[in-house]
Amino acid sequence: MEFMSTICLFLVVILTYFLIVFLLKFLYSAQTKLPLPPGTMGWPYIGETFQLYSQNPNVFFASKVKKYGSIFKSHILGCPCVMISSPEEAKLVLVSKAHLFKPTFPASKERMLGKQAIFFQQGEYHTKLRKLVLTAFMPETIKNKILDIESIAVSLLQSWEGRLINTFQEMKTYTFNVALLFMFGRDEVLYREDLKRCYYILEKGYNSMPVNLPGTLFHKAMKARKDLAQILAKILKLRRQMKHDYSDLLGSLMDDEEGLDDEQIADNIIGVIFAARDTTASLITWILKFLAENPSVLHAVTEEQESIIKNKVERGEDRILSWADTKKMTITKRVIQESLRVASILSFTFREAVEDVEFNGYLIPKGWKVLPLFRNIHHCRDNFCDPEKFDPSRFEVAPKANAFMPFGSGTHSCPGNELAKLEILVLIHHLTTKFRWSLVGPQNDIQYEPFALPQNGLPIQLSLKR
């Protein structure tokens, strides 16, 4: 009896879901005379989440575009979505009509990061937050931290020698330590282990369904998020007692003139760590894979980096990297650009319609998520010749307008992109001039959790050049 009751309840839920979808579609069509975009919504509540995150996103998106065109609907992480895959449409959402589409994330991520984080804001509050964040990440600020970044990079690389390492996990440590440096300055070593312990639990729940029941990833993540906020509260209290001037992000957010409360500060610190860590770690992992598989490109990058050292020695300077040195790394920068394009670490970004929007002949209902598909744009043959090929030389010429947007576009583009590029340049400099590395095991497969990553996080063996 219990089994039959469960089956009946399940059928009722399914029928109710499809009835609601039908009624919504009918009502919106009657009111606006515009259809919803074509597409499928998948299972009730779950939607097509598993189809997206369990396979190559290229396959999922390409099959949808082939069947429905450049704009289609779906249902991801508990949210009805409209996905768009052309540069022109992406610009409309991110720039031209940005006032109609507020930045957002699925409910699970919003609750974990904090609803007052910069990612979810518009208007004056967003402008204020962006100014504060940029203060800590603008070139004038980060160029004074090169020596500290270099110290973190060299220490990490030296710890790898002779070991079999998981590149992605090691790069998460690197980017986390760099992020904490810019959050808390050199005091970050005082809080690193406690913050790391809580954050590592939090990140496991980022793409979980928002079911806050004991034992679920979401429940564990929310508990870790509470612990993080308590650690930050202690740091804030200590700093207010010390009454020093701090040039890091926390110091910027604590600026009395801006009047942010502790909850707002905590939301933005946690949010920036999220933005600064996994995506950059994923990108560096792909760069090491692409360089190992393309010896001619690796040779060109190594020559460029060694020439910087050679020129410094000839001028009688020490070997410490300077901001001016990073400006000479043109080949290495093209490798970063091409890795961003091929890997497309962020397959898409989330926006939400703030009202019913007429969009290219379709209706996007208020509250629906809108996802510009960066991965599709970066892998479209109309935008890049032979798009699956790794070819940094393609960036010797500027790409088609709006066809390359790895850091987003418009007022909500990533404010930390200059720091991300700098920490990569510093690491690649020391890696290519001092070490050689080889891939271990087969590397043909890709795993998705949720970022696209080389198989098993790219195991490598590192050795010192003699």
Residue type for position 10:
F
To the question of whether residue 380 is assigned a binding role by annotation, the answer is no
**What distance separates the 2 farthest-apart alpha carbons in the chain?**
86
Q: Is 39 left (phi over 0), alpha (psi -120 to 50) or beta?
A: left
First to last CA, the chain: 74
Side chain identity, residue 384: F
**CA–CA dist 141, 134 (Å, integer):** 9
Residues 123 and 259: their CA atoms lie apart, in Å, by 17
Binding residues for heme: 414
Binding residues: 414
